[in-house]
A and B are shown apart, each in its own frame.
Chain A
Amino acid sequence: MESKQMPEPPSKGAIVKATGIALAVALVILFTAVLPAEYGIDPLKTGKALGLTQLAQASEMKSKPATVAAAAPEVPAPKVTGAYTAQPKNYKTDSEDLSLRPGEGVEIKYHMQAGAVMVYGWKADGKLRFEFHGEPDQKPNKDYYESYELDDKVGKDQSYGSFTAPKTGIHGWFWENKTNKEVMMHLNTAGFYDSAKMFSGDEKVDLEIGEGK
């Protein structure tokens, strides 16, 4: 190459040695730091010693605060008083069974007023990548949305929780099946929403929702 200007070309031995050292250093860093921090895989327990596995747990934790709280029962839950919101109308319920072919994505969203609450649970027989997000009715542009929870790397086969709408608008999930076989999914919600929509490809369907009993 015209501009390569090593003082003297390195010998074969030097290149082999450098490559070997580079590989060895890479393996050490991978197993002591990268794998613990990224995936919580900690074969040498160095990740724990350095506090790196917490990084991997932190990204897990963000998405399931409920399970984390349940895992530490010895800490008494904070006593919340007067924390209810009266609503003029009864809550609604919705239950959906979906099947997603490999590569297929589907979206279900509920229209809620700011401050309205919904409890939800979904369960699938395979991992689904998903994004829990919302689109306010008043949004700066057509494509605007706010993301609440994103798992676009590994995906999950279940998720449960409660949700308080930060803004008036539609809130819900986009699920995508990135596995190579069909995934069946069941979603249950109950909350103070007034309508539900399903988006699948370019199709938009109004879902029938039930009255709370």
Chain B
Amino acid sequence: MVTGYDHLAFLVGVIFFLYRLKDIVQYVSLFTLGHSITLLAGVLGGIHANPYAIDGIIGFSVVYKALDNMDGFRRFFGFQPNTKLAVLVFGLFHGFGLATKLQELTLAQNGLVANILSFNVGVEIGQVLALTAVLIALSYWRTQSGYLRHAFATNAALMSVGFILVGYQAAGYFFSV
């Protein structure tokens, strides 16, 4: 099964308006730092968060970032939330999600701890690969004249993906207990 597309949706939102590689590296590192902390803490501490609740929050983070990209916060609340802090905080939640997934993947208990690090490395590699592809596509798109015109609609679509993720997880939460 392909998982992690929710994380990617969030990261696409994060890098959407980042042009300089330096910024991208900074934001993605913050995200990685956030989810590495909670991934390790979650698995080592045996913290079993409800996966549906966590994945629901991840879906919400996609909605949040899309709204942020649409300039919704400045428009409605008159201020811009600290974007770096938001990425770090949502990174922490994404880490809990990964921790819960990892614990479920390796239901057989042997070698849990040994697998965490390689899992985390695997996640980072996959993320970097996918982000590189996204960046190439975005960079090409940015050279087109329609980019800024479509940016708003694209973020609305991204927001829709976020809502779908929230609904999907909410349904799981209510129907599976």
Contact = CB atoms under 8 A, between A and B. Distances in A.
A30 B109 contact: no
B111 A142 contact: yes
Contacts of B107: 105, 129-131, 133, 150, 152, 174, 176
Interface string B57-87: 0000000001101111011100010010000
A69 interface: no
B70 to A, nearest CB: 5
Given A22-B156, A34-B164, A145 B70 contact: no
Given A3-B19, A4-B17, A4-B71, A39 B175 contact: yes
Contacts of B108: 107, 131, 133, 145, 147, 174
B119 interface: no
B75 to A, nearest CB: 5
A181 B161 CA distance: 35
A79 interface: no
B137 interface: no
Interface residues of B, number: 47
Interface string A122-166: 000000011101000000001101010010111000000000000
Given A6-B71, A9-B71, A30 B152 contact: no
A7 interface: yes
B70 A18 contact: yes
A3 B18 CA distance: 6
Nearest to B20: A3
B121 interface: no
B124 interface: no
Contacts of A18: 70, 152-153, 155-156, 159
A21 B156 contact: yes
Interface string B155-177: 11101111110011001100111
Q: Which secondary structure characterizes the binding site on chain A?
A: mixed
A7 B147 CA distance: 10
**Could you say which interface size class chain A belongs to?**
35 or more
Contacts of A98: none
A1 B83 contact: yes
A5 B148 contact: yes
Contacts of B167: 26-27, 30, 34
B114 interface: yes
Nearest to B76: A12
A35 B151 contact: no
Given A15-B70, A34-B164, A35-B171, A6 B109 contact: no
A91 to B, nearest CB: 26
Interface in A1-35: 1, 3-7, 9-12, 14-15, 18-19, 21-23, 25-27, 29-30, 34-35
Contact of B72 (A1, A15, A105, A107): A15
A111 interface: no
A138 B173 CA distance: 40
Contacts of B114: 143
Contacts of B159: 18-19, 22
19 contacts: A1-B83, A4-B69, A7-B149, A9-B74, A9-B75, A10-B70, A12-B75, A15-B71, A15-B76, A18-B153, A19-B67, A19-B159, A22-B160, A34-B164, A35-B168, A39-B171, A143-B110, A143-B115, A152-B104
Given A10-B71, A19-B159, 4 more contacts: A4-B69, A5-B17, A6-B152, A23-B163
7 closest residue pairs by CB, A with B = A143-B111, A26-B163, A131-B107, A22-B160, A18-B156, A22-B159, A152-B104
